[in-house]
Amino acid sequence: MKNLRRKTLAAASAVTLGVGLAVAGGLAPAASAAGPDATFLVLAPQGATTAKAAARVAAANGTVVAKYDQIGVLVVRSTNPDFATAVAGAGVESVASTAGLGSALDESETVEVATADAAAITADPTKEPLYGQQWDMDMIHLPQAQAVNAGSPNVVVGVLDSGISSTHPDLATQIAKDKSTSCIGGVTDTTEAAWNPTTSDHGTHVAGTIAAAVNGVGVAGIAPGVKVAAVKVVNDDGYIYPEAAVCGFLWAADHGMQLTNNSYYIDPWELNCRNDARQRPVWQAVQRAIRYSNSKGVLNVASAGNSNYDLAHKITDTASPDNSDTPEVRENLTNACLDLPAEAPGVVTVGAVGPTGEKSYYSSYGQGVIDVTAPGGDTRFRTQGVRSTLTDGILSTTFNTATKTNGWGYKQGTSMSGPHATGVAALALSAHPGMSPGQLASFLERTSVTKSCPQGVYNPVPLSAAGPHAYDATCSGGARNGFYGAGIVDAYNVVK
């Protein structure tokens, strides 16, 4: 029997939130004793207004800090220790406390390049000073693609992450500042300082892969002609909470974005189980937000995760929640338990490959789950897991949060493969405007380069300190399979 194991890797974006609690019943009197100030998601019945729910929130000594009438969700703060019980009743379908912590991001290493050493500006991505270290861009045929179409400024990609450095020389001209915001706490703040990075450069790295300028400085992005918007959902402690994710999806939908990149988890559990009363409200709120964004023309792209877990065959979870020293054992799991947002309907799920084009040792997989695959890095395959080879990661833009300086550096993870797929999708939409989210997702799959399953049990790192079988994985399927989905995304194929 296989256990679910969370692996925190360089730039593995695992982050956050608390448990959900479904409630029902009449209006309970608010408690007089005050507890800690806590955040809740309060859901009105599907299709109903939030008016009745807001009235119950007030009666239960809660304060609405954000109201998302588009999907019937309220973000509420309260010091009432019995708030979840007190708010239950007519007009409230469910309530979720979002108290809890997740796994902090590992920021990896940074390679500094002085802007004074920049090459002459050309329209050729291969002339960027650090392009020689971007093996990932050759893999997806970026030079050929940009010779045809380098992206349209009419395409805006929302980077739901830890913020984007607005002073980075490879990104300063690429950011749609008028569409950027912080969603921390579920409340928007459009000041530039609010959506810039503070303790994590993860979002800056992601943004560079998607759209770093071809300007003679640093690296080349996949679609330098498009714009990226910073939608900050990772807080200063390195966690993402559901109210921030809901806010992010709705902000992108209501501000003209056609794509979002999501390199994170939305739960301290690796899997969010819709049949678990504690978790169901979180699933409901996030799924409502994703469904709404799809209806507004947004295609959401998400990373599959770094647990080397077969998402198509979920059995046992013994390592969650990751905000507890005593994880619960959940057995006999079914496909009602999903990795959010990667497995939510309407989301393109992306696995990772390394420099050889083979599945990265850490990448989660699953027949019928992985839609496409893209370069995410694999720093251990050369030594079979004995030590890391940094340059086999993904090179992109970084921001040193200690010194407040911009730079370039390597990270690896499905956090890095996701933005490759997003960047290719942005090129596709630039070359073929007007596609709906469903059409764009299908086109991304049809233009990917198919890759067959390896024979037998796959494990590129048998000498790992975790043990000789720690990264065993078995691929299933034919032209479309559990390791690679429809195949490795190809930038040239989407624009030619």
Catalytic residues: 161, 202, 415
- The neighbour count for residue 47, using CB atoms within 10 Å, is 7
SS3 sequence, 170-221?
A: CCCCCECHHHCEECHHHCCECCHHHHCCCCCCHHHHHHHHHHCCCCCCCCCC
Distances from the Cα of 76 to the Cαs of 66, 179, 367, in angstroms?
7, 25, 39
Strands lying side by side in the sheet with 259-262? 181-182, 227-232, 156-161, 259-262, 299-303, 347-353, 372-375
Structure tokens at 168: 């980075």
| Owner of token pair 């928007």 | 188
Beta bridge partners of 338: 272
- Supply the DSSP string of 84-101, one letter for each residue: HHHT-BTTB-EEEE----
Determine contact, residues 96/269, Cβ cutoff 8 Å: no
Q: What angle do CA 433, 434, 437 make, to 5 degrees?
A: 110
The SS3 of residue 76 is strand
Determine contact, residues 343/349, Cβ cutoff 8 Å: yes
Structure tokens at 107: 């920021």
Distances from the Cα of 356 to the Cαs of 282, 304, 339, 361, in angstroms?
38, 19, 27, 12
The SS3 of residue 3 is strand
Structure tokens at 417: 């493969």
Separation CA 271–CA 279 (nearest Å): 10
Structure tokens at 302: 């998400």
Phi, psi of 251 (to 5 degrees): -60, -45
Separation CA 487–CA 450 (nearest Å): 4
| Owner of token pair 């009419």 | 154
Separation CA 242–CA 42 (nearest Å): 12
Determine contact, residues 197/401, Cβ cutoff 8 Å: yes
The SS3 of residue 410 is strand
Separation CA 318–CA 202 (nearest Å): 28
Determine contact, residues 315/331, Cβ cutoff 8 Å: yes
